[in-house]
Amino acid sequence: MKRSPNCCKNKCSFQLILNTLILTFTFSFCSTGKIVKDPVTESEKVLIEETKKEQPNSILFLSFLIAKDSLSGQSTLTLIDKKSIVASLKNNQYQATPNENSLSFEVMKDNEVVQFFYIEHPLLMSVEYEEGVEMKRNTFEFQKREFFVRMQISNGQSKVRISEIIKNKEKKNLLTIDLTTQ
């Protein structure tokens, strides 16, 4: 049985009309004009913003010169340079507990210590070495050295207090740095 050419045209026209109706129907239901609310509530948005403010947002690089006064025997610490960049440290490479001879770094926010770490005292370097079959430890004293530290700083942290911890001596504040000024 042979089909007439009009039959195919009608079938194609019917298919075109059907597709147009389906598309029109779909688009009319999708664009109803309703405003879709953000699934995050206002209180959650406030919490997210507060969390962002508390997250670390810069790395602070501090360069120092530390020297031992020949008359008094006291250490003096001088800030040489201070730089910061917007970034995050991968990890903290400093000690969480002090050695016999250390410098402590206390980062402060609203006069409260919020972060602290220790480094080996730059003027009192302890070295362990092998002598024969024995391990020995010796502390070398320097008169003057330059060194630097880097640390993560969060919004609102305003000061860094650096103190000296020497074996059998009282902890001594060497320098407090104001982070709010350049």
pLDDT digits (tens, 9 = 90+) for 159-169: 999 999 998 89
| Residue 34 reports pLDDT greater than 50 | no
Each residue's pLDDT tens digit, 104-152: 999 999 889 998 899 999 999 888 889 899 999 888 999 999 999 999 8
With 0-12 CB in 10 A as exposed, 13-18 as middle and 19+ as buried, what is 151?
A: buried
Beta carbons within 10 angstroms of residue 63's beta carbon: 14
Helix (H, G, I), strand (E, B) or coil at 116: strand
In this structure, what DSSP letter does residue 95 have? B
Task: Please state which of the ranges 18-22, 57-61, 66-70, 72-76 shows the lowest mean pLDDT.
Answer: 18-22
- The predicted pLDDT at position 126 comes to 85
Q: Please, are residues 177 and 103 in contact by the beta-carbon 8 Å criterion?
A: no
Q: Please, are residues 93 and 149 in contact by the beta-carbon 8 Å criterion?
A: no
Paired sense of beta strands 124-131 and 112-120, if any: unpaired
- The predicted pLDDT at position 119 comes to 94
Each residue's pLDDT tens digit, 140-161: 999 999 999 999 888 888 899 9
- Region 63-81: mean pLDDT is 94
| Residue 174 reports pLDDT greater than 60 | yes
With 0-12 CB in 10 A as exposed, 13-18 as middle and 19+ as buried, what is 160?
A: buried
CA atoms within a 13 Å half-sphere pointing along the CA-CB vector of 123: 17
- Region 72-79: mean pLDDT is 93
| Residue 25 reports pLDDT greater than 60 | no
* Residue 79 confidence class, pLDDT cut points 50, 70, 90: very high
What stretches of 16-143 adopt beta strand conformation (E)?
Answer: 56-68, 75-85, 102-109, 112-120, 124-131, 134-141
- Region 35-53: mean pLDDT is 52
Tell which residue, 182, 162, 144, has the closest CA to residue 58. Answer: 182
Query: What rounded mean pLDDT belongs to the chain?
Result: 79
Q: Which structure tokens are listed for 67?
A: 């020297």
